[in-house]
């Protein structure tokens, strides 16, 4: 069974380089999952001609707006415009459902009275324990980012392939297990040289490269400093619209 990965959004929180916020689609003939769904994700999908009604699962690494802020927009359009009828599962870290409800109320006051005509399930992903989500095997690993966002890294197993994503995180002792034998490791690389708390940068990734053990690595979530060096580094770097067949 074929598996493909599409970087609908590969940017940071601030639109550096004109890129959309994180939205990574994992597609199989049976199912489409989005890993993170930043606030600009509907725009990114529309530019690519991808209907969001075709997304079955949204997997969230943490609760920052550039990684989860697009979910309320998707839900409201699914109810009001796209007329969704198929189930949607949103899976992510601890405290997911109440935090997403609060976000929707903050963005669209009064929308909490609306009731979708399709099933919406919220699933919390415990760390260090594989969990089945709509036929996917998802393992969340502890990440080191802003603690209030309940940060995780995610390893997704589907159709005999493994896609791993660091999310926003400094290096942790869990990253070798996250990446081990993955067909694709997506690693955030916010800065080229500057160390930034809560994020990976290029020197750390280069130093730890051999510990990762993934078959293919693509760097993403690059800020201005890293974007300026993206063409000069040997590693593969994501761009909006990039399609990867596994």
Per cent of the chain over pLDDT 70 is 100
Identify whether the C-beta of residue 218 lies closer than 8 Å to the C-beta of residue 184. Answer: yes
Q: Tell me, what's the pLDDT at 1?
A: 63
Q: Provide the Cα torsion 137, 141, 147, 149; round to 10°.
A: -20
**Position 161 confidence tier, pLDDT thresholds 50, 70, 90:** very high
Is 44's pLDDT higher than 90?
A: yes
The helix (run of H) or strand (run of E) holding residue 245 is strand 243-245
Tokens 């003939």 locate to 29
Is 167's pLDDT higher than 90?
A: yes
- What pLDDT digit, counting tens, does each position of 73-115 carry? 999 999 999 999 999 999 999 999 999 999 999 999 999 999 9
Angle at 124 between CA 120 and CA 126, to 5 degrees: 160
Q: Tell me, what's the pLDDT at 233?
A: 94
Tokens (6 digits) for 164 = 């791993």
Q: Tell me, what's the pLDDT at 185?
A: 98
- What pLDDT digit, counting tens, does each position of 210-228 carry? 999 999 999 999 999 999 9
Q: Tell me, what's the pLDDT at 156?
A: 98
Strands (DSSP E) found in 101-143: 120-124, 131-133, 136-142
Q: What domains, with CATH codes, occur in the chain? A: 4-245 (3.60.15.10)
């Amino acid at each position: 069974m074929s598996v493909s990965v599409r970087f609908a959004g590969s940017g940071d929180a601030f639109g550096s380089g004109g890129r959309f916020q994180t939205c990574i689609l994992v597609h199989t003939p049976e199912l489409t999952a989005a890993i993170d769904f930043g606030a600009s994700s509907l725009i990114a999908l529309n530019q690519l001609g991808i209907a969001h009604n075709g997304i079955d699962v949204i997997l969230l690494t943490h609760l920052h707006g550039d990684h989860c802020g697009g979910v309320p927009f998707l839900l409201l359009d699914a109810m009001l415009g796209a007329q969704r009828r198929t189930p949607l599962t949103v899976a992510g870290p601890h405290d997911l459902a109440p935090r997403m409800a609060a976000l929707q109320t903050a963005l669209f006051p009064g929308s909490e009275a609306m009731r979708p005509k399709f099933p919406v399930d919220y699933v919390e992903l415990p760390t260090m324990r594989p969990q089945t989500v709509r036929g996917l095997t998802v393992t969340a690993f502890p990440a080191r980012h802003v603690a209030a966002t309940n940060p995780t890294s995610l390893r997704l197993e589907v159709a005999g392939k493994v896609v791993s994503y660091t999310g926003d995180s400094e290096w942790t002792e869990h990253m070798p297990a996250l990446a081990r034998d993955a067909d694709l490791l997506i690693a955030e690389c916010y800065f080229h040289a500057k160390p930034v708390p809560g994020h990976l940068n290029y020197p750390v990734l280069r130093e730890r490269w051999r510990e990762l053990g993934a078959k293919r690595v693509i760097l993403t979530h690059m800020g201005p400093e890293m974007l300026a060096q993206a063409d000069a580094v040997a590693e593969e770097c994501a761009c909006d619209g990039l399609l990867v067949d596994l």
